[in-house]
Amino acid sequence: MVLAVFVLACNAPVDNTTSEKASEMAAKPDMTKIKADIQALETAWAAAVDAKDLNATVAFYAEDAVSLSNNQPMITGKAAITKDVETWFSKRDPGTTTAYDVVEVFGTEDLVTEIGKTTIKDANGNAIRTGKYMAIWEKRNGKYVCIRDISNDDAKPE
């Protein structure tokens, strides 16, 4: 009888839930790190915009990117985006600064959707415009590039 209990105890079914959960967790991307990586890109992008550095600004876009800017038709391709950014830069007031704040990211390590807020300040540091945006980043050749973005301004207070 003791031998039977011992044999049954040794042959009890194995609980694989722990190893399955560990495997699932290992497969999930570290969204905290990805959010920090995307914020670093947005901070660099803002610096390029503030410097009116056309090449550095459009370097964040993929060749096949699509941009959906506020009150404009869809812009397809890096060449068209470059032309649009050039026009935008010519209209910016001197001393204007831009900040992009990443609010949320989700997706995979290779394809990340970002939701964020924009604040544009005048040369005196006063917020003159706020807005929100979404960007989709794809990892290509080991680095993230923006493949889609959409942005719009918040309504001005009355």
Whole-prediction pTM value? 0.81
- 16 located within any domain: no
The residue to which tokens 């970002």 are assigned: 114
- 112 located within any domain: yes
- 13 located within any domain: no
The residue to which tokens 């992009």 are assigned: 100
- 14 located within any domain: no
In the chain, the number of structural domains is 1
User: Residue 61 belongs to what domain range?
Assistant: 30-153
Query: In sequence order, which residues have a C-beta less than 8 Å from that of residue 90 and are 6 or more positions away?
Result: none
pLDDT of the chain, 158 residues: tens digit per residue: 333 433 334 454 555 555 555 555 557 899 999 999 999 999 999 999 999 999 999 999 999 999 998 889 999 999 999 999 999 999 999 999 999 999 999 999 999 999 999 999 999 999 999 999 999 999 999 999 999 999 999 988 66
Closest CA to 53 of 88, 80, 100, 78: 88
CATH, residue 53 = 3.10.450.50
